[in-house]
Amino acid sequence: MNSLPKDFYWGGSVSSFQTEGAWNEGGKGVSIYDVRPTPEGHADWKVAIDEYHRYKEDIALMKEMGFNFYRFSIAWSRIIPNGDDEVNEEGVAWYNNLINELIAAHITPMITLVHFDMPYKLVKEYNGFASRKVVDLFERYARVCMERFGDRVKHWMSFNEQNLHSCRLIYSNAEIIPEGKTLPEHLYQVAHNVMIAHCKAVKALRELVPDAKFGGMTTITNYYPATTSPQNMLFCKQAYNLVSLWVAHVQAKGEYPSYYTAYLKQRGWFPVFEEGDEELLKYTCDYLAFSYYRSNVLTEGTFDNTTPFADIVEQHTVPNSYLKATEWGWEKDATGLRIVMNDLNERFDLPCFILENGMGHREELDENGEINDDYRIEYHRNHIQEMKNAMFQDGVNCLGYITWGPIDIPSSSCQVAKRYGFVYVNRTDSELLDLRRIPKKSFKWVSKAFKSNGEEL
Q: 301 phi and psi, to 5 degrees?
A: -160, 180
Count other C-beta atoms under 10 Å from residue 2's C-beta. 9
Residue type, 103: I
Pairing between β-strand 423-425 and β-strand 437-439 as defined by DSSP bridges:
antiparallel
Instruction: Indicate if 356 belongs to the active site.
Output: yes
Count other C-beta atoms under 10 Å from residue 266's C-beta. 11
Cβ atoms of 427 and 51 within 8 Å: the answer is: no
Cβ atoms of 143 and 74 within 8 Å: the answer is: no
Residue 324's Cβ-count burial label (10 Å; 0-12, 13-18, 19+) is exposed
* CB within 8 Å of 125: residues ≥ 6 apart: none
Q: Report CA 419 to chain centroid distance, whole Å.
A: 17
Cβ atoms of 384 and 334 within 8 Å: the answer is: no
- Bridge partners (DSSP) of residue 271 are none
Please pick, among 51, 185, 331, 356, the residue that the annotation labels catalytic: 356
Q: What is the dihedral of CA 13, 17, 18, 19, to 10 degrees?
A: 80
* Closest residue by Cα to residue 241 from 217, 268, 263, 226: 263
- Compute the distance between CA of residue 334 and CA of residue 382 in angstroms, rounded to an integer: 6
Cβ atoms of 241 and 344 within 8 Å: the answer is: no
> Which residues are identified as catalytic?
356
